[in-house]
Amino acid sequence: MKILDLKQIKKVLSSIDVIPAIEAGFVAYSRGKAVIPPVAEMLFDNPPGDVHIKYGYLLDDDYYVIKIASGFYDNPKLGLSSSNGMMLLFSKKTGEIKSILLDEGYLTNIRTAAAGAIAAKYLAPKYIECVGMVGAGIQGKLQLKYLKSVTNCRDIIVWGTNDKELKIYKKEMELIGYRIKTTKNIDEIERKCNLIITVTPSKKPLLRARNIGKGVHITAVGSDTPEKQELDSTILDKADIVVADSLKQCMERGEIFHAVKNNLISLDKPVELGNIIFGKNPGRTNEDQITVADLTGVAVQDIQICKAVYSEL
Amino acid sequence: MKILDLKQIKKVLSSIDVIPAIEAGFVAYSRGKAVIPPVAEMLFDNPPGDVHIKYGYLLDDDYYVIKIASGFYDNPKLGLSSSNGMMLLFSKKTGEIKSILLDEGYLTNIRTAAAGAIAAKYLAPKYIECVGMVGAGIQGKLQLKYLKSVTNCRDIIVWGTNDKELKIYKKEMELIGYRIKTTKNIDEIERKCNLIITVTPSKKPLLRARNIGKGVHITAVGSDTPEKQELDSTILDKADIVVADSLKQCMERGEIFHAVKNNLISLDKPVELGNIIFGKNPGRTNEDQITVADLTGVAVQDIQICKAVYSEL
């Protein structure tokens, strides 16, 4: 049994490509070959916090994974990150624990960024003029890091509301080879970028439909609850293809949830990312299409990234 | 953060009394001061196995606990125990992990044995002539170990079906100060013992009502699913007091479940162990009463034993 701390996990991650593992996870999920029971949760009032236990396994596999992820929102006052957690990998043949990954929530960030890269790989136009990043936090940085392997475009416009955060974003992302323009005006992203990624916790739509032109792909990453929303739902109506990481989950939360609830798209419009990867549904078929991917985060991503790290030990 | 293996956990256990912590847990549970969400589970076919995630916290407390317990029933063929698992203790203020107890399922056995001792403490007659143990496995041994602190009786009749197991039971329990008589005839226990503990996985009633006389207390430990049953349900009808560790859980599984389903006792007959400890409901009030405690195992016991071990680190 191996126990890894965050430093050791980051070292392993630097030497592996998690994207194929997570693609395989989406495919297994969409083909009904993954067992993902309902999320278990605890909610706390004082101090405010929540704990989610996500768990499951692939049918054709030797392991099951249990992920514990917490958010305690007063932690920054104590100098601690609000998110924390771990992943546990067990033998599906004996129940023995094989590995404890004390990732403090980091692997969740990475599997989310990898899913963004996968969405871009299958849905973004071939020629990307400029990438728009709506949100300048940790996830906005990781998205660029993982996007590098699936696109050639290095020109980025990043939108944010905090000058200091934008300045840090620019500095850090230029160090890994991007040209970064910062903006506080979201119009700029809507008009100039044909690959847009939204990574905010916004509860009001940020991107409007009117400026979204032909040939744009949008990956919405931020909304993972029924309250959060980053896209004006009419964008999903306007889109030629709407993709969910999990149809089941996207009917309960995220951008698709809002669009269906407001009768702007029909229930049968969204298709599942795993089915696009697998070829059951087409992805982008021409350069003029508008496409939207709604990523709410599925436990199969956790299972796959945990196994990918474990397989390197 | 501290990680303990089974050997270290056993060492800590040898120096602490877990009974007060578990009593306090039952009281908190019955007074509505514990939050115990529904159990999360995974079931496997090949090889056959199941995983249960039990979790929760006490309202007036600094921690939450997540227990993972598995049963893989082909493990003995591989020379492994069928049960396995761990307990995780987190700060309820920050979500930080404080301790990982790699107990391999052992703490579940201990908290179960401790609950048996607690039931005997509040419900058994004052003068115990002879203790009857129905079942000669691990739990039957642990029950005697923990019973020692709450009773003076050292005369035991143990019932089993396997000569070798009975022989080992006798030898081991005599080493810790008991006088053991083995039997394959359950009548002997029914007629001679006034404290009876059942610890088998039986799916058919073993104890019959007709031989159960005045002044007997029975603690039924083995039945923790809707299928398992150790007591003829008419015993619960005959009993003056029927006690559940959790009323909610005992309506879905265990001896009370069977008695209610067969209309042998009314829904309002069973009272909760925590309410007896706390004094809200009387326990045994005279030496002639027949009492039955149905223990199905509640997550609050896991929370309390995990904290008890952690507090010694």
Is the CB of residue A164 less than 8 Å from the CB of residue A136? Answer: no
Do B72 and B147 have their domain in common?
Answer: no
3-class SS at B93? Answer: coil
Residue of B7, B11, B67, B280 marked active site: B67
Do B71 and B126 have their domain in common?
Answer: no
Instruction: Give residue A114's identity as a one-letter amino acid code.
Output: A
Do B151 and B56 have their domain in common?
Answer: no
3-class SS at A138? Answer: helix
**Cα–Cα dist B10/A40, whole Å:** 30
Chain A nearest C-alpha distance from B34 (Å): 12
**Eight-state DSSP code of residue A81:** -
pLDDT mean over B155-162: 97
Beta strand extents in chain B (DSSP E only): 2-4, 34-35, 40-44, 49-58, 63-72, 83-91, 97-101, 131-134, 155-159, 179-183, 195-198, 217-220, 241-244, 271-272, 291-294
Is the CB of residue A92 less than 8 Å from the CB of residue A122? Answer: no
What is residue A225's predicted lDDT score, i.e. its pLDDT?
Answer: 86
What is residue A3's predicted lDDT score, i.e. its pLDDT?
Answer: 97
**B183 found inside a domain:** yes
pLDDT mean over B87-113: 97
**Cα–Cα dist B286/B275, whole Å:** 18
Smallest CA-to-CA distance from A293 within A253, A259, A238, A256 is with A256
pLDDT mean over A103-121: 97
Instruction: Tell me phi and psi for residue B248, to 5 degrees.
Output: -60, -50
Do A71 and A171 have their domain in common?
Answer: no
The CATH number of whichever domain residue A170 belongs to comes to: 3.40.50.720
What is residue A147's predicted lDDT score, i.e. its pLDDT?
Answer: 97
Predicted confidence (pLDDT) per residue in A211-231, tens digit: 999 999 999 999 888 999 999
CB atoms within 10 A of CB B136: 26
**Cα–Cα dist A97/A106, whole Å:** 21
What is residue A242's predicted lDDT score, i.e. its pLDDT?
Answer: 98
The CATH number of whichever domain residue A84 belongs to comes to: 3.30.1780.10
**Cα–Cα dist B200/A184, whole Å:** 68
Is the CB of residue A104 less than 8 Å from the CB of residue A81? Answer: yes
Predicted confidence (pLDDT) per residue in B237-247, tens digit: 999 999 999 99
Is the CB of residue B189 less than 8 Å from the CB of residue B159? Answer: yes
Among B42, B59, B80, B104, which would you mutate to test the A interface (most chain A Cβ atoms within 10 Å of its Cβ)? Answer: B42
Q: Which residue has the tokens 């989406």?
A: A26
Among B60, B68, B77, B101, which would you mutate to test the A interface (most chain A Cβ atoms within 10 Å of its Cβ)? Answer: B68
**B112 found inside a domain:** no
Distances (CA, A) of B36 to B25, B28, B55, B296: 11, 11, 6, 14
pLDDT mean over B4-23: 97
Predicted confidence (pLDDT) per residue in A257-297, tens digit: 999 999 999 999 999 999 999 999 999 999 999 999 999 99
Helical (H) or strand (E) element with A167: helix A163-175
**Cα–Cα dist B69/B104, whole Å:** 8
DSSP for B25-91, please give it. Answer: HHHHHHTT-EE-PPPEEEEETTTTEEEEEEEEEETTSSEEEEEEEEEETTGGGGT--SEEEEEEEEE
Do A64 and A140 have their domain in common?
Answer: no
**Cα–Cα dist A88/A66, whole Å:** 5
What is residue B137's predicted lDDT score, i.e. its pLDDT?
Answer: 94
pLDDT mean over A45-66: 96
Average predicted confidence (pLDDT) for chain B: 96
Do B286 and B304 have their domain in common?
Answer: no
Whether B308 has a pLDDT exceeding 90, the answer reads yes
Do B101 and B168 have their domain in common?
Answer: no
Q: Which of A42, A78, A80 sits opposite B37 (nearest CB)?
A: A42
**Cα–Cα dist A167/A109, whole Å:** 21
Whether A177 has a pLDDT exceeding 90, the answer reads yes
Q: Which residues of A touch B (CB under 8 A)?
A: 1, 3, 35, 37-38, 40-42, 44, 47, 49, 51, 53, 55-57, 64, 66, 68, 70-72, 75, 78, 80, 83-86, 88, 90, 92-97, 100, 102
Do A101 and A214 have their domain in common?
Answer: no
Predicted confidence (pLDDT) per residue in A233-244, tens digit: 999 999 999 999
**Cα–Cα dist A11/A33, whole Å:** 31
What is residue A224's predicted lDDT score, i.e. its pLDDT?
Answer: 85
3-class SS at B262? Answer: coil
Domain count, chain B: 2
Cβ-based neighbours of B225, under 8 Å, separated by 6 or more: B253
This prediction's pTM: 0.93
Give the ipTM. Answer: 0.91
Among A62, A91, A94, A99, which would you mutate to test the B interface (most chain B Cβ atoms within 10 Å of its Cβ)? Answer: A94
- H helices present in A35-162, as ranges: 106-123, 138-147
Which residues of chain B lie closer than 8 angstroms to A71, CB-CB?
95
**Is the CB of A37 less than 8 angstroms away from the CB of B35?**
no
**Is the CB of A53 less than 8 angstroms away from the CB of B49?**
no
Do B165 and B22 have their domain in common?
Answer: no
Q: Which residue has the tokens 């624990």?
A: A97
Residues of the domain holding A62: 2-107+300-310
**B197 found inside a domain:** yes
**B278 found inside a domain:** yes
Contacts made by residues A50-54, CB under 8 angstroms, sequence distance 24+: A51/B64, A51/B90, A51/B95, A53/B40, A53/B53, A53/B55, A53/B66, A54/A299, A54/A302
**B114 found inside a domain:** no
* Bridge partners, A83 (sequence order): A71
Whether B204 has a pLDDT exceeding 90, the answer reads yes
What is residue B303's predicted lDDT score, i.e. its pLDDT?
Answer: 98
Whether B225 has a pLDDT exceeding 90, the answer reads no
Helical (H) or strand (E) element with B295: none
Do A50 and A19 have their domain in common?
Answer: yes
Instruction: Give residue A71's identity as a one-letter amino acid code.
Output: G
Predicted confidence (pLDDT) per residue in A14-51, tens digit: 999 999 999 999 999 999 999 999 999 999 998 999 99
**Cα–Cα dist A68/B95, whole Å:** 10
Q: Which of A49, A86, A95 sits opposite B70 (nearest CB)?
A: A95
**Cα–Cα dist A200/B85, whole Å:** 38
Percent of chain B, pLDDT > 90?
Answer: 98
Interface A–B counts its CB contacts (< 8 A) at 94
What is residue A278's predicted lDDT score, i.e. its pLDDT?
Answer: 97
What is residue B224's predicted lDDT score, i.e. its pLDDT?
Answer: 85
Do B209 and B236 have their domain in common?
Answer: yes
pLDDT mean over B161-187: 97
Do A44 and A138 have their domain in common?
Answer: no
